[in-house]
Amino acid sequence: MAPPDTRTATVAGVTVDTRHWIGGARVASASRATFTDRSPIDGAPLAEIARGGPGEARAAVVAARNAFPGWAATPPAERARLLHAVADGVEARIEDLAIVETTDNGALLASHRRGVMPRVAHNLRYFADRLLALGHDDFDTRGHTNHVSWDPAGPAVLITPWNAPLMLASWKIAPALAAGSTVVLKPAEWTPLTASLFADIAHEAGLPPGVFNVVQGYGDEVGAPLTGDPDVRRISFTGSVPTARRIAEAAAAHLVPCSFELGGKSPLLVLADADLELAADLAVEQYDNAGQVCLAGTRILVEESVRDAFLGHFLDRVTKLTQGDPRDEATDIGPNIHPRHIERVDGFVRRALEAGAKAVTGGGRNTALGGNYYLPTLLTDVAQDSEIVQEEVFGPVLTLQTFPDGDDDEAVRLANGTRFGLAATLATGDRERARRITARLVAGTVWVNCFFVRDLSAPFGGSRQSGVGREGGDWSFDFYCDLKNTVTAPVGSPLVERGRERGEGREARHG
């Protein structure tokens, strides 16, 4: 017997519609199939979510395709106004969005209230404003005028991860809509709830039907049909390298441009001349969101002479961290996302320990809390070619290696010694040395004596297997648009005059 057609759920006192949002209306799956969404905090079921398939994927793309001409023709000032209206709606519901997302993905409620959800509104406002400033000065070629314009590309499929569901989605939604493209969003199946709330907010703000759509479900059931649809003109994906490969294969059939923000295994270099207290603060910050941050500097590389001093500062800070319910203001580290994921994290650590690594702190599950809680872990005695150093764990697990004093070549070799290149962090008191080292680091973003400072005007993305393309600023518009250069001959040029003469001759013959 098919499960009941569940339409809404109440999550932390907030009503969330569990159906898809397609063409400006709520749509249940044709099969009436659902999947269960559970909270990582305690494993409790939160909702039965409509489980999409090829039919829902196709319907959403058709809705986006049909809405595209009207949205593309909407004047930029009106598109910007509507994005600001959506941002107003987000700000009016920050508390609802924050508590629902914390319940759904386990990240700290305080962070969602104060930083993450306000950033969603900021992302929308930034790209709305950037749209109105978008432009390139006309330039001359032998008296001819070149004019560059950004033409909306068409329906865009956006596939987003579970570690910061709505904020990461808004990094894609805002520029896509500002550019005049229409959107089909597929949120991660482990965290679908705030995408549904966002659909309500966008509708209430006045986005036309079909401009923004949400389809829920599993990657192989609904994601694959979306990425293989011939009417899709852009695909943006944040997630794993293997999934990106499958998406690229599907997109290749129709030559659809893709933007990928993928895994990371970023280094955090601590030089002997660094402020070691600052360095320790930066290192402990890598446990943010239970280590489920793609940019995290999980490989700590320390100059040998300051290893012990750095480690002392670091452990002093780790012992003061509070792990527990993310809804509690006193909590510093919450749970990992899912039982399957925490088993993966623990597997990495167990194999590293069996291979000879030592756990200076942590090294296993938090047995006092149970469930999805994993202790903040630091492993030493790890080899550069070991799995724990080379592969993304995506949990609260850091490794520590050293390099000889003054040996910048070895520091750079270790830092660049993985297949990834998403980010890097450097702690040093020597600006000139910082300049020399950062110039040699393979990374899309490098932070010096800071971490996770991101301006939306800056390019964001990864090198090597950490991604393809860049988001942010005009780079986002370059992706969600087709750039056009229009070349116009000057008035009075010989070709123009000959054309005018031929036209006058035709008029005389047919007069």
Catalytic residues: 261, 294
Burial class (CB in 10 A: 0-12, 13-18, 19+), 464: middle
Q: Under a CB-based contact definition with an 8 Å cutoff, are residues 287 and 485 in contact?
A: no
Angle between helices 165-178 and 473-480 (to 10 degrees): 70
d(CA 184, CA 375): 37
The DSSP 8-state label assigned to residue 471 in this structure reads: B
d(CA 171, CA 156): 13
Count the Cβ atoms, other than its own, within 10 Å of residue 172.
Answer: 27
Structure tokens at 257: 């441009």
d(CA 457, CA 454): 9
Q: Under a CB-based contact definition with an 8 Å cutoff, are residues 202 and 175 in contact?
A: no
Q: What are phi and psi of 9, to 5 degrees?
A: -140, 155
Structure tokens at 324: 């527990």
Distances in Å between the Cα of 54 and the Cα atoms of 106, 216, 225, 236, 408 are: 30, 11, 6, 19, 53
Tell me the β-bridge partners of 162: none
d(CA 95, CA 440): 43
Burial class (CB in 10 A: 0-12, 13-18, 19+), 237: buried
Binning the chain into helix, strand and coil, the percentages to the nearest 5 are 40, 20, 35
Q: Under a CB-based contact definition with an 8 Å cutoff, are residues 265 and 298 in contact?
A: yes
Closest-CA residue to 202 (of 17, 13, 470, 476): 17
What is the four-CA torsion angle of 321, 326, 329, 331, rounded to 10 degrees? Answer: -10
Give the Cα-Cα-Cα angle 291, 295, 299 (nearest 5 degrees): 70
Per DSSP, the three-state class of 235 is: strand
Q: Tell me which amino acid residue 448 is.
A: V
